[in-house]
Amino acid sequence: MNAIFEHDFIYTAGIYSVVVMAIIVFLAVFEVVTRYSAWEEIKKGNTAVAMATGGKIFGVANVFRHSIQANDTVLMMLAWGAYGFVLLLFVYFIFEFLTPKFKVDEELKRGNRAVGLISFILAAALSYVIGASIRH
């Protein structure tokens, strides 16, 4: 099996597939945590939810990017990716905690693009911090 992964194209396709599946799983977890259906809101054209969801996708992918570069095995890459996801999930709860004047989920569902933008930026920015801390 290791001989197969020595081919760059196969290695890339394999890593890509694993990360796409991980992003799908992580988005499903986010779907459970939020008080709205992201995909229903996006279908309605809710830009705020699209930005927040895009930030989550970008954040998770960015953590995996750093994890792929820092690790030699798929298992370690997944472990760091999952750990980064947990930290990004924690960011979601911190954002909610730091905004006692309003509920983030309610504002996103109402289409508040300012909240969507901040949500995107928090996920993206902190994914760089998480990624920078990943070690081999």
Element (H, E) at 109: helix 104-109
Q: Identify the three-state secondary structure at position 82.
A: helix
| Residues 68/80, Cβ–Cβ less than 8 Å | no
| pLDDT of res. 124 | 97
| pLDDT of res. 2 | 56
Give the tokens for residue 19: 């990360």
The 10s digit of each residue's pLDDT in 82-111 is 999 999 999 989 999 999 999 999 999 999
Longest dimension (CA), the chain: 57
Gyration radius from the chain CA atoms: 16
Residue 1 has pLDDT above 60, yes or no: no
| pLDDT of res. 74 | 85
Residue 129 has pLDDT above 80, yes or no: yes
pTM of the model as a whole: 0.88
Question: What are the residues whose beta carbons fall under 8 Å from the beta carbon of 103, sequence distance 6 or more?
Answer: 35, 96
DSSP code for 113:
H
DSSP code for 72:
S
Element (H, E) at 54: helix 47-70
Residue ranges per structural domain of the chain: 4-133
